[in-house]
């Protein structure tokens, strides 16, 4: 089969690799029809993780089941399915509580596994023609009959729509709240979209990229352009000097100042500044336990200088971590099926797998107009 293979920093190749196969009776084999490139792939692509060369990328996957293991009960050959990026067992202590991003079975010694992901188990990704799906009865979301027509919406259920929603859950967003979101990438836009779906009264999205901010405005959010570094003051002015009720971090450890220099503590401290006393902060942007290629000494050890005193005095609370996709994907699927949500609005490029190299280059450069790439292996 053809797949996108990581060779080294900023070096991926589309090449023939051995076909993915069923390994356990609980697996299914999926023929991938849509697979996305994610901001999380970029941390790996840039060589800022311990991703091993030779691994196949891709954790945002949708396709058709073509083979089922002998112990698979529910999922049938021919089903159109979307897989959460988390690979989870369904029976461990965390899965039982709905915390499938922290499964204790699928990545022994750690909590949480994913397809084609650094530090999240040995699993191959789905930026390929075929994908092996473990514990398939638990992990496959079987899609409604309009799966083909709405494929570009449903594929967002694999990660970024539930992840954006998770950010709002961690922050505690409820109807009537004001929300500030750092990052207008796909995840930040989905956090804004989820806040709007929940009935937030005011949603402010901070970024420096005009094309991404324009999408935030298109869904009814207020764009806060931080290209001169005045984002924090703008948010305070928009909230009568008090700060937003809730805040979401949708950038991660590679966040930058307005000059484009990485400042790993910037968004976290900006959230402490721009969320009101007793407000909630949800952090889905990725922070990693060690970052050997970081410029600053603290960051190399996975640490940031966090304004804990301000945070404490303001009585804020914070929630972090990988999204438990299965906690939300079924409900968000219904919103799509009923025409109440259309997350495909963020897609800028739909390309065949063969054009992945240029897609990675352009998305990594956050080149104007490259907001979200979906790849179609069958084309
Ligand atoms: N927790 C999870 O389950 C989960 C799931 C998916 C993605 N993620 C993470 O979410 C983050 C965002 O993903 P994405 O696909 O949207 O990535 P992306 O890289 O496309 O978008 C990030 C955006 O943040 C902006 N940005 C950089 N510095 C900023 C700052 N100081 N203030 C405001 N905006 C700033 C960039 O301009 C960019 O538009 C990544 O860290 C990704 O790994 C987490
Ligand atoms: Zn992703
Ligand atoms: Zn589990």
Question: Tens of pLDDT along 44-103?
Answer: 999 999 999 999 999 999 999 999 999 999 999 999 999 999 999 999 999 999 999 999
Q: How far apart are CA 263 and CA 311, in angstroms?
A: 19
Q: Give the model's confidence band at 378: pLDDT under 50 very low, under 70 low, under 90 confident, else very high.
A: confident
Q: How far apart are CA 14 and CA 11, in angstroms?
A: 10
Ligand 1 surroundings by CB, under 6 angstroms: 38-40, 42-43, 159-160, 163, 182-188, 206-209, 212, 226, 250-252, 255-256, 266-267, 284-286, 322-323, 366
Q: pLDDT tens across 113-149, in order?
A: 999 999 999 999 999 999 999 999 999 999 999 999 9
Q: Give the number of C-alpha atoms closer than 13 A to the C-alpha of residue 251, restricted to the C-beta side.
A: 28
Number of DSSP helices (H) and strands (E) in the chain, helices first:
13, 15
Among 28, 15, 289, 332, which residue's Cα sits nearest to residue 154?
Answer: 332
How many whole angstroms from its chain centre is CA 53? 22
Which atom belonging to ligand 1 lies closest to the Cα atom of 42? Answer: 19
CB-based contact 181:203 (threshold 8 Å): yes
100 C-alpha to ligand 3 centroid (Å): 6
Return the residue whose CA atom lies nearest to atom 15 of ligand 1: 39
pLDDT of residue 176: 98
Of 43, 115, 155, 185, the residue with max ligand 1 atoms within 8 A of its CB, to mutate for a pocket test, comes to 185
Chain mean pLDDT for the chain: 97
133 C-alpha to ligand 3 centroid (Å): 14
pLDDT of residue 302: 94
Q: pLDDT tens across 168-184, in order?
A: 999 999 999 999 999 99
Residue 322 above 90 pLDDT?
yes
378 C-alpha to ligand 1 centroid (Å): 29
117 C-alpha to ligand 3 centroid (Å): 17
Beta bridge partners of 132: 29
Helix (H, G, I), strand (E, B) or coil at 167: helix
Which atom belonging to ligand 1 lies closest to the Cα atom of 323? Answer: 3
Of 36, 37, 40, 287, the residue with max ligand 1 atoms within 8 A of its CB, to mutate for a pocket test, comes to 40
Q: At what angle do helices 160-171 and 329-337 cross, to 10 degrees?
A: 120
pLDDT of residue 362: 97
Residue 17 above 90 pLDDT?
yes
Residue 285 above 90 pLDDT?
yes
236 C-alpha to ligand 2 centroid (Å): 31
> Residue 222, by phi and psi: left (phi above 0), alpha (psi -120 to 50) or beta?
beta
Helix (H, G, I), strand (E, B) or coil at 197: helix
CB-based contact 35:62 (threshold 8 Å): yes
Q: How far apart are CA 60 and CA 52, in angstroms?
A: 19
Number of other residues whose CB lies within 10 A of the CB of residue 349: 17
């Amino acid at each position: 089969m053809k797949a996108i293979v990581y060779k080294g920093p900023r070096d991926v190749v589309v090449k023939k690799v051995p076909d993915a196969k069923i390994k356990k009776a609980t697996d299914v084999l999926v023929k991938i029809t849509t697979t996305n490139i994610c901001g999380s792939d970029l941390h790996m692509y840039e060589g800022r993780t311990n991703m091993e060369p030779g691994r196949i990328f891709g954790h945002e996957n949708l396709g058709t089941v073509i083979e089922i293991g002998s112990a698979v009960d529910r999922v049938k050959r021919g089903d159109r399915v979307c897989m959460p990026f988390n690979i989870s067992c369904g029976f461990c202590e965390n899965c039982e509580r709905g915390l499938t991003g922290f499964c204790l079975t699928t990545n022994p010694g750690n909590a949480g596994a994913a397809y084609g992901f650094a530090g999240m188990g040995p699993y191959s990704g789905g930026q390929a023609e075929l994908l092996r799906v473990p514990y398939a009865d638990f992990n496959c979301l079987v899609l409604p009959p309009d799966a083909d027509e709405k494929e570009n919406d449903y594929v967002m259920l694999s990660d970024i729509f539930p992840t954006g929603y998770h950010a709002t859950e961690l922050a505690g967003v409820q109807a009537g709240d004001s929300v500030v979101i750092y990052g207008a990438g796909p995840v930040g836009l989905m956090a804004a979209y989820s806040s709007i779906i929940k009935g937030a009264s005011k949603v402010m999205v901070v970024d420096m990229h005009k094309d991404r901010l324009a999408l935030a405005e298109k869904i009814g959010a207020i764009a806060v352009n931080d290209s001169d570094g005045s984002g924090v003051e703008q948010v305070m002015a928009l909230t009568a000097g008090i700060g937003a009720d809730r805040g979401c971090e949708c950038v991660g450890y590679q966040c930058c100042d307005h000059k484009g220099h990485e400042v790993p503590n910037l968004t976290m401290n900006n959230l402490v500044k721009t969320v009101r006393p007793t407000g909630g902060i949800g952090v889905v942007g990725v922070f990693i336990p060690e970052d050997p290629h970081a410029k600053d000494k603290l960051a190399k050890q996975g640490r940031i200088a966090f304004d804990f005193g301000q945070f404490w005095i303001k009585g804020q609370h914070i929630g972090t971590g990988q999204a438990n996709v299965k906690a939300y994907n079924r409900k968000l699927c219904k919103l799509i099926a009923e025409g109440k949500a259309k997350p495909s609005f963020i897609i800028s490029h739909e390309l065949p797998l063969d054009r992945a190299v240029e897609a990675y280059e352009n998305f990594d450069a956050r080149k104007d107009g490259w907001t979200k790439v979906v790849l179609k292996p069958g084309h």
